[in-house]
Amino acid sequence: MQARVAALETRLGGVARVNASLERALGTVRGRLSAREESGLAPLAARIQRSVFTVETDRELGAGFVAWFANGDSYIVTANHVVAKAGAGAAVTVLHKGGSWSGEVVMQDAANDLALVRVSGHPAGTAALWQRPSIPHPKPGEQLLLIGSPYGLDGTVTTGVVSRVTKKAIQTDAAANPGNSGGPIVDRHGRVVGILVSGAGENLNFGVPIARACVTLRRC
């Protein structure tokens, strides 16, 4: 009997050592995955930041992103309420890293709170961020980046997850403040999946899915 107990204790000790070894291995893998994920966000954010601008009028402040280029002009998508008081055809100021450009409001979609600003030329370093609306909708729990100009702090990056998705809105817990409106909502693959348009409190912010921009801003 004592021999059996001793044998069982020996086997249990071996199992415990194997479990401890597995826990260490899993901890190492988790650490590597976490480091890889964090290091992956930095270059992604840096790439998107180059195409995100502050949009300013006499009365409002927001953000916008270069969506496409055409005939030597840059087209910037923003939130309509940022430029609504200026009105269609009005001049707005577009700012980025110390540079300043004059833009013209060329299209407004009040129903979806979206607008389009045209800037003559191609600001250095910018890339078109427009994504086909056929890309998959983000799902609850997926990670997102918001890039905008809260209180005029251009190029500010915040992260969060998708909280809820409907046909007309993407809800996220990523932090946003006045000045973020019009900035892109970007998934972990670097795709613009929406445009931030409103917030209802801390960690409760909403964006328009990129497909809604097809209603009036661009034929898709």
Residues in Cβ contact with 12 at an 8 Å cutoff, skipping those fewer than 6 apart? none
Catalytic one of 73, 81, 109, 198: 81
Residue type, 216: T
What's the confidence (pLDDT) of residue 91?
A: 84
Lowest mean pLDDT among 40-49, 56-65, 134-143: 134-143
Output the DSSP codes for 184-197: EEEETTS-EEEEEE
Whether the CB-CB separation of 49 and 157 falls below 8 Å is answered with yes
Catalytic one of 51, 96, 113, 187: 113
CATH number 2.40.10.10 is the correct assignment for the domain at 129-214: yes
Task: Tell me the HSE value of 15 on the side-chain side, using a 13 A CA sphere.
Answer: 6
Question: Is residue 154 flagged as an active site residue?
Answer: no
Q: Spell out the long-range contacts of 157-166 with Cβ–Cβ below 8 A and sequence spacing 24 or more.
A: 157/45, 157/49, 159/41, 160/203, 162/138, 163/204, 164/140, 165/137, 165/138, 165/139, 165/140, 165/209
Q: What is the pLDDT of residues 101-140, one digit of tens each?
A: 999 999 999 999 999 999 999 888 899 998 776 677 889 9
What's the confidence (pLDDT) of residue 1?
A: 61
Residue from 184, 180, 158 nearest 170 by CA: 184
Strand intervals (E) in 131-169: 143-148, 156-165
Fold agreement between 52-120 and 129-214: yes
What's the confidence (pLDDT) of residue 212?
A: 85
- Give residue 33's pLDDT band: very low, low, confident or very high (50, 70, 90): very low
Catalytic one of 74, 154, 181, 187: 181
CATH fold for the domain made of 52-120: Thrombin, subunit H (2.40.10)
Question: Is residue 181 flagged as an active site residue?
Answer: yes
Question: Is residue 81 flagged as an active site residue?
Answer: yes
Residue type, 106: V
Phi, psi for residue 62 in degrees, rounded to 5 = -155, -160
**In the chain, what are the domain boundaries?**
52-120, 129-214
